[in-house]
Structure 1
Amino acid sequence: MKKGDLFVVSGPSGAGKSTVCKLVRRMLEINLAVSATTRAPRAGEVDGREYYFLTMEEFQNKIKNNEFLEYANVHGNYYGTLKSEVEERLNEGKNIILEIDVQGGIQAREEYPDVNLIFFKTPTKEDLEDRLRGRGTEDEETVRIRLENSLKELEFEKYYDKTVINHSIEQACYDLIKIIKKEA
């Protein structure tokens, strides 16, 4: 059986990765590996669906046991992808999308050299700030930290294979589907 293909979608907070990945995953019936995090759930998020919400101690134990494909401290919280989430599906011949931060994308390439790295960004830095503030899910200090980190994350685009500029959800979905179908 042919192994599945691994696609990593990364980019700054507010670029629309989550929304687009969720829609494309439904359209293509492609798997999304659920990441683990130490951050608190947002309203409506369910453990095991959006993320595996772990305590700091649980997360650190998984690091010690080498259970992560990649992990990083992003915006003061840990995020990571469990190897078990990826390897099982790839071995079954299923394609997987990982929606992870830019540091994790680079780590994924080290583990899986054939990974397809896709960078998401907004048309302008002003759009990025507007989207971060428009969420209304974080306080001003958190927005400021996310914006600073997001501007730094833009520098990682050069390490990625493809870029999707999120002018609109519809166009970004189309662009991502085109990349997946061409690469898969």
Structure 2
Amino acid sequence: MYNLKEKEMIFVFTGPDGSGRKTVARLAGDTLNMEGVISSTTRAKRPYENEDIDYHYLSREDFEKAAANDEFIEKVEINGHLYGIKEREVEDKFKKNGCIYLVLNKEGANILKELYGDKVIRLFLYADRVTVQKRQQERGDSLEVIDAHMSHYDEEMGYKDECEHAFENYELAHTVFEVTNKIEKYLTGALPLKK
């Protein structure tokens, strides 16, 4: 397991699918010059996604081989698909920058929280059920994929109170501004980590 150095931190963007967590994470990361770590998955690439930008797409065989070699810092299975973060990628990103961000579901966020405690700050993004469903339709998700996502909506929303911070995401520019300000307070020491 990668051991975080004194000033290294992980910001985890989480929340229901369609909450805008990936978009907000990228924009906040760009603003703060913070590196993002990309998850690996066995699910098929969606039409609007890009290899090595949205995910590293692996066959189940390759994923399981990497898992058997202890390459993943965290891994979960959701709706029959495997997802995971490779430890080497986390280490490589930390070499470039003292803080990184990831976009994870609550299971992945919990694993990192258990591993690294207060050095993991969970940023929960959300919008109402109708809004997230509409966003998924607009980006071209199939009805089957949307139904699978929406079946987890209430469970995902229940995770909000466990996270360090929560942000309603209806106005993207406003949300990015709020999130960036919050992260900046950790980076400057204005919001200290618990000891």
**TM-score if structure 1 supplies the norm length?**
0.90
Runs of 4+ in 1 over 4 A off after TM superposition: none
Aligned residues: 182
Q: Percent identity?
A: 26
Indicate the residue corresponding to 2:35 in structure 1: 31
Q: Distance in 1 between matches of 2:66 and 2:153?
A: 27
Deviation at 1:91? Answer: 5.1
Larger mean CA deviation between 144-153 and 29-38 belongs to: 144-153
Q: Secondary structure at the match of 1:69?
A: strand
* Amino acid across the alignment from 1:170: A
* 1:59 paired to 2:63: yes
**TM-score if structure 2 supplies the norm length?**
0.85
Indicate the residue corresponding to 2:164 in structure 1: 161
Deviation at 1:44? Answer: 5.1
Residue 107 of structure 1, aligned match among 104, 111, 136: 111
Residue 126 of structure 2, aligned match among 121, 128, 131: 121
Kept in 2: contact 1:132–1:147 (CA 8 A): no
Q: Distance in 1 between matches of 2:160 and 2:91?
A: 26
Which segments of 5 or more consecutive residues in structure 1 lack a partner in the other structure?
A: none
Deviation at 1:92? Answer: 5.2
Q: Distance in 1 between matches of 2:134 and 2:74?
A: 29
Larger mean CA deviation between 38-47 and 73-82 belongs to: 38-47
Residues 88-131 of structure 1: per-residue CA shift (max 9 Å, x gap): 33355521001111110000011111211111111x22222222
Indicate the residue corresponding to 1:180 in structure 2: 183
Indicate the residue corresponding to 2:191 in structure 1: none
Which segments of 5 or more consecutive residues in structure 2 lack a partner in the other structure?
A: 188-195
Q: Distance in 2 between matches of 1:75 and 1:44?
A: 20
Deviation at 1:76? Answer: 2.9
Instruction: Tell me the C-alpha RMSD between the 2 structures.
Output: 1.8
Kept in 1: contact 2:76–2:83 (CA 8 A): yes
Q: Distance in 2 between matches of 1:92 and 1:129?
A: 36
